[in-house]
């Protein structure tokens, strides 16, 4: 009855983007940002309805190949849908007042809305090829975001950063496509619901291994997993604020979501074989990311490396193949989206004001000259550290808990070692974040900033954009049951456990 709901959800931002392209230049220029807000607000409302009613759509698309236009949601995709629509809305609201130097607003808003279509589509797709198409759709808008509206002062320039991003992820996509084709053709269907229900039956052991490896490489690049992360710092450093927020907030989640939604349930034997490797790389990423953060000079680059560490926790949770670990991974996914989204909003604001994100050039004294921005940065840092009572804690804790008692076939001692190393990562993460606060927020301002008249604290408009994130980070920290009771039954089904 409500089979039009999800297509509508995708159509609204798409039509918004198209409208901005076809409208006459002057008109588009005039309405662009406001139209963006209206469209993304409508999308958020629709995604709330979708999350609440869990409708589905299933019609034939390419009958010759057995590909269906199958869309649906459940307890693990709905939160990501809401996150996507929520962050996109915040980005468009931000663009009302805070705009990149290279204006071209209609195109910018259009690109953001197009990006939203791809992200939403990835989370609702129930057909492997459809999933792949949406997964690819995000690449072009993100490339434009970095290459057109990015910061050209980064080493090598913004276009190179954008190119590295797209080359890397296209390479991953190509490998992932092979995995998808292997599964779909061997199993005779691309339908994700059916493939999940089969849980790998009908796929030989070697097929499963090959398919999992291919999928995992594709998803791992997107996540990104150490050592395939090197596209991320450059892309983040160059990307404009909205690009960074959506990149860290949503795009990275597509990789881990794919692992949970596709790789674990459809080729479980491959998952079992490769899980220990995944776990080891995850933990390496946690420690490596934290150590790299300690060595960074650029604040945006630092937050990018912190993502490598945080996504390491997500991957560790997945690699345990336990409900608790995967629940934790999905929680950490969402929490990271909110918290790192907030961090990039804040760091973006700092960079816009000082025209640099270099720690040496920024110097200390943010608390002093911009108390509101400083306080928010402190809050986001503390949240990112995984403080209990804030959203970041539950996911990382459950990932570690999963490693404490991994899935049946996995070596307990091995995972205890991984857990312990990840635990030192927790301490290192604390260390680099308090170091950031020490270098940027505490202390006294450089004379050059004290003399600058244009440096103002967070504006009311910015506070309106950021405060919903703060509220959600606190709410998800105090009431973890909201997400966990939604994800737990789905995760059990995906892992082939009933009940």
Q: Which residue, 55 or 218, has its beta carbon nearer to another protein?
A: 218
DSSP, collapsed to helix, strand or coil, labels residue 127 as: strand
CB of 414 to another protein, least distance (A): 16
CB of 394 to another protein, least distance (A): 8
Q: Which residue, 34 or 204, has its beta carbon nearer to another protein?
A: 204
CB of 1 to another protein, least distance (A): 31
DSSP, collapsed to helix, strand or coil, labels residue 62 as: strand
For residues 115 and 300, what is the distance between their CA atoms, to the nearest angstrom?
A: 21
For residues 478 and 465, what is the distance between their CA atoms, to the nearest angstrom?
A: 22
Q: Are strands 67-72 and 56-62 parallel, antiparallel or unpaired?
A: antiparallel
Q: Which residue, 94 or 403, has its beta carbon nearer to another protein?
A: 403
In the block, tokens 């609702």 appear at 124
CB of 45 to another protein, least distance (A): 28
CB of 59 to another protein, least distance (A): 20
Helix (H) or strand (E) holding 57: strand 56-62
Q: Which residue, 41 or 434, has its beta carbon nearer to another protein?
A: 434
CA distance to 316, 340, 432, 441, 457, per residue, from 427 (Å): 17, 18, 9, 20, 31
Q: Which residue, 38 or 474, has its beta carbon nearer to another protein?
A: 474
Find the Cα–Cα–Cα–Cα dihedral 143, 144, 147, 148, rounded to 10°: -170
DSSP, collapsed to helix, strand or coil, labels residue 332 as: helix
CB of 253 to another protein, least distance (A): 19
Q: Which residue, 212 or 393, has its beta carbon nearer to another protein?
A: 393
CB of 49 to another protein, least distance (A): 25
Among positive and negative, which fits the CA dihedral 73, 74, 76, 81? positive
Among positive and negative, which fits the CA dihedral 46, 50, 56, 61? positive
For residues 198 and 252, what is the distance between their CA atoms, to the nearest angstrom?
A: 28
Phi, psi angle pair for 358, to nearest 5°: -75, 125
Q: Which residue, 42 or 421, has its beta carbon nearer to another protein?
A: 421
């Amino acid at each position: 009855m409500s089979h039009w709901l999800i297509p509508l959800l995708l159509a609204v931002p798409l039509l918004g983007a198209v409208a901005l392209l076809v409208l006459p230049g002057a008109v588009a220029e005039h309405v662009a940002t406001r139209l963006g807000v209206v469209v993304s607000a409508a999308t958020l409302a629709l995604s709330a309805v979708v999350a609440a009613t869990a409708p589905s759509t299933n019609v034939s698309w390419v009958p010759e190949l057995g590909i269906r236009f199958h869309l649906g949601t459940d307890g693990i995709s709905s939160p990501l849908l809401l996150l996507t629509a929520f962050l996109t809305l915040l980005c468009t609201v931000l663009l009302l007042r805070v705009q990149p130097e290279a204006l071209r607003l209609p195109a910018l808003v259009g690109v953001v809305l197009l990006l939203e279509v791809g992200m939403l589509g990835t989370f609702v797709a129930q057909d492997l090829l459809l999933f792949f198409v949406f997964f690819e759709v995000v690449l072009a808008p993100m490339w434009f975001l970095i290459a057109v509206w990015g910061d050209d002062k980064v080493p090598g320039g913004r276009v190179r950063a954008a190119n590295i991003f797209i080359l890397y992820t296209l390479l991953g996509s190509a490998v992932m496509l092979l995995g998808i084709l292997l599964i779909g053709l061997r199993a005779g269907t691309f339908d994700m619901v059916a493939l999940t229900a089969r849980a790998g039956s009908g796929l030989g052991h070697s097929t499963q291994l090959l398919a999992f490896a291919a999928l995992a490489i594709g998803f791992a690049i997107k996540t990104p997993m150490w050592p395939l992360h090197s596209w991320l710092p450059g892309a983040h450093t160059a990307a404009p604020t909205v690009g960074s927020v959506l990149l860290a907030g949503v795009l990275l989640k597509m990789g881990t979501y794919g692992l949970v939604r596709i790789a674990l349930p459809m080729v479980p034997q491959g998952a079992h074989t490769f899980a220990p490797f995944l776990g080891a790389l995850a933990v390496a990423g946690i420690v490596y990311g934290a150590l790299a953060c300690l060595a960074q000079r650029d604040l945006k680059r630092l937050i990018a490396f912190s993502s490598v560490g945080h996504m390491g926790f997500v991957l560790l949770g997945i690699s345990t193949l336990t409900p608790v670990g995967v629940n934790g991974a999905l929680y950490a996914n969402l929490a990271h989206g909110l918290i790192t989204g907030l961090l990039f909003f804040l760091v973006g604001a700092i960079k816009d004001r000082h025209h640099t994100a270099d720690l040496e050039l920024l110097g200390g004294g943010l608390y002093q000259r911009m108390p509101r921005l400083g306080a928010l940065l402190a809050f986001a840092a503390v949240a990112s550290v995984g403080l209990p009572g804030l959203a970041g804690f539950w996911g990382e804790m459950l990932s570690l808990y999963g490693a404490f008692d991994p899935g049946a076939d996995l070596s307990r001692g091995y995972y205890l070692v991984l857990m312990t190393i990840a635990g030192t990562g927790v301490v290192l993460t604390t260390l680099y974040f308090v170091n950031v606060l020490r270098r940027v927020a505490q202390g006294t301002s450089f004379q050059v900033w004290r003399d600058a008249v244009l440096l103002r604290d967070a504006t009311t408009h910015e506070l309106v954009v950021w405060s919903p994130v703060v509220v959600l980070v606190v709410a998800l920290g105090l009431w973890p049951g909201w997400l966990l009771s939604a994800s737990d039954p789905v995760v059990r089904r995906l892992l082939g456990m009933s009940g």
